[in-house]
Amino acid sequence: MLRTLPLNKRGIPASRIALGCMGLGGGWDHEPITAENIKQGHEAVEAALSIGINFFDHADIYTRGKAEKVFGEIFRDRPGLREEIIIQSKCGIKLIEPGDTTNTFDISREHILKSVDGTLSRLGTDYIDILLLHRPDPLMDPEEVAEALHQLKVSGKVRHFGVSNMSAAQIRLLQHYCDEPFIVNQLHMSLAKISWLDAMVSVNREPWKDITFPEGTIEYCRMENIQLQAWGPLAQGSFSGRSLEGQPENVVNTAALVKELARQKNTTPEAIVLSWLMTHPAAIQPVIGTVNPQRIAACAGADQLELTRKEWYDLYVSSRGEKLP
């Protein structure tokens, strides 16, 4: 049974699948966006809308802001679209610039406010539906974060807030100081990225492989009605047509199993891979990263599939490459 999204429970009419927009805008350089970039954006948006996706995920750093600029052009070309869809963006990462030796994380009050203003300008809109803090910042002052989010809320620039790549403890710390609830946590989860499951099944066992997933994070989000979003849910095509040359046995075997299940259910490998995530009772919302219209279309129907418990476990154990304890 497909569970209701926590976002829907909060009255936000988000689609079961979201489209990640990191692939829009061309290269990660300082070149201006082109007519071809805008055309690609239109085609990706149209493909997403055609399969019922109304949720679009951005970040201020995606192709150095050009992904948001492309979307701004789409809004100008399609009057009325902004009110029909949900826009989520992120802030908190500073990319390497000339003279820098590394990228840094920054969720200071100043950077959050500046980042949101930049996003709004590039998108050509006056509000973001959801703003995520992109990465945990070791120098974070939660009281300062709270001030920034309060200012964004009362100004109407941001309607809701969330985080990305954070543990339960980090969310609790922020929530202690922030009046506004954090309603999203976006994590790297897929049939290839299964440490969030391995952390569960390995309780009271000798450490298995190199599990670093923070214990209790999935459970905390479920209890607090925080929407779990999965970035990288298609595993970069590892199980849906990407070359398997040089891949380990567990990946080859899992790709074959996905293909067979797709044949049995008369659907696509992409739909099977997404359905595996959405079968989990945490009501995970996959954020697909492709902007290829054909691959977007291949995800259609994933939210209508139901995997049996055996099918779900067969895929998990196959990807794990080792029997369960």
Q: Which residues are catalytic?
A: 62
Q: Degrees (nearest 5) of the Cα angle 47, 185, 25?
A: 40
* Rounded Cα–Cα distance for residues 121 and 99 (Å): 26
Query: Token match 């951005």: residue?
Result: 58
| Residue 271: partners with Cβ closer than 8 Å, 6 or more residues away | 262, 298, 299, 300, 301, 302, 305
* Cβ–Cβ under 8 Å, residues 263 and 239: no
Largest CA distance in the chain: 57
Burial of residue 307, with CB atoms counted within 10 A of its CB: 0-12 exposed, 13-18 middle, 19 or more buried? middle
Query: Token match 């009110």: residue?
Result: 83
* Cβ–Cβ under 8 Å, residues 228 and 221: yes
Burial of residue 86, with CB atoms counted within 10 A of its CB: 0-12 exposed, 13-18 middle, 19 or more buried? buried
Query: Strand (E) positions, the chain?
Result: 18-20, 55-57, 86-91, 93-94, 104-105, 128-133, 158-164, 182-188, 227-231, 285-288
